[in-house]
Amino acid sequence: MRTALTSLDQVLYPPIEPNRTGRLAVDELHTLHWESCGNPAGIPVIFIHGGPGAGTSPKSRRFFDPAKYHIVLLDQRGAGQSTPLGECRENTTPLLISDLERLRELLGIERWLVFGGSWGSTLSLAYAQAHPERCLGLVLRGIWLVSDEEIDWWLYGMRQFFPKEWEAFAQQVPEGERSDLLAAYHRRLANDDPAVHTPAARAWSRYEGSCLQLIPDPVTVDSFGEDAIALGVGRLEAHYFHHRAFLQPGQLLAGVTKIAHLPCVIVHGRYDVICPVRYAFALADAWPSAKLVVVPDAGHSSYEPGIAAELVKATDAFTLADDGGFVA
């Protein structure tokens, strides 16, 4: 049994450096950062980060055996090292899907394993349902299905578990606007003036960072308040919340029929406050062949040891299967 002393380094693969990095200009406005690591002749896998707007990090490479995987990472529009940071124009789910296809074609990959958590699970599902023929399977974490109920929970429900953190978030806007926090934040985050959008982005991002883990980590919370992360997370999350991720209501569950033949592992923390576990069960109910793993001592973050261990277990299992699936 895993103990409380288990560290992240005990469950992730050792740090590695990219073999290749590049800049992909997808239009006149956006240029995307990408990298590839591991074995160029290995199983291709695309790491789809969360947020939206959070970007990738060196730790993102470590969920995969570098001897067996060709690991591809992409910072989505407005996120991470892609430019311009926090840009919401020409930033929609269909465009992000088309970016993934452009990168796949650029790298000469026919099919790849799709790995995504939180918003990354949303985009992974949307991508796979648009291009099932390009997917070997999916590994998903922290399921977010973009329902109004989930958005309302993020804006108001999380205060049941993190009341002081919610108060700091809500008090960033005048009391008269707090009945519609999304509209209040969206107005400020869409404002071109840094004096308006920067403090709003910091407050939004820090609120999320405060609620990520079963046991909050002050270092994580502080990092989410830094402008390099906050601008992408704050502006893009509000943008995608406001537009319901540019998806139809119930689209991702209805679209499971398009990908039901693909192998899938779903990993979710029992005490995930950002994305409550009931939505992972809803996805598993719609996808009976998918394997759902509920981690009993974890929240939302993929970097909690219990969740990281199950994600690595899933990617390892895919390399062992003879039938293009997962070894139980």
Over its length of 328 residues, how does the chain's per-residue pLDDT go in tens digits?
Answer: 344 447 899 999 999 999 999 999 999 999 999 999 999 999 999 999 999 999 999 999 999 999 999 999 999 999 999 999 999 999 999 999 999 999 999 999 999 999 999 999 999 999 999 999 999 999 999 999 999 999 999 999 999 999 999 999 999 999 999 999 999 999 999 999 999 999 999 999 999 999 999 988 888 888 888 888 899 999 999 999 999 999 999 999 999 999 999 999 999 999 999 999 999 999 999 999 999 999 999 999 999 999 999 999 999 999 988 667 776 5
Q: Is 300 among the catalytic positions?
A: yes
**Which of 143, 91, 108 has the alpha carbon at shortest distance from 122?**
143
What is the reported pLDDT for 4?
Answer: 47
320 phi, psi to nearest 5 deg: -90, -15
Active site residue 297: no
**Active-site residue, selected from the candidate residues 36, 60, 82, 118:** 118
Pairwise CA distance, residues 242 & 92, whole Å: 12
Domains and CATH numbers, the chain: 8-147+247-320 (3.40.50.1820), 148-245 (no CATH)
Catalytic residue among 131, 197, 272, 302: 272
Q: Could you give the dihedral angle defined by the CA atoms of residues 182, 187, 190 and 195, in that order, rounded to the nearest 10 degrees?
A: -110
Please confirm, yes or no, whether 27 is among the known catalytic residues: no
First to last CA, the chain: 18
Which contiguous run of DSSP H or E holds residue 291?
A: strand 291-295
| Residue matched to tokens 């929970």 | 153
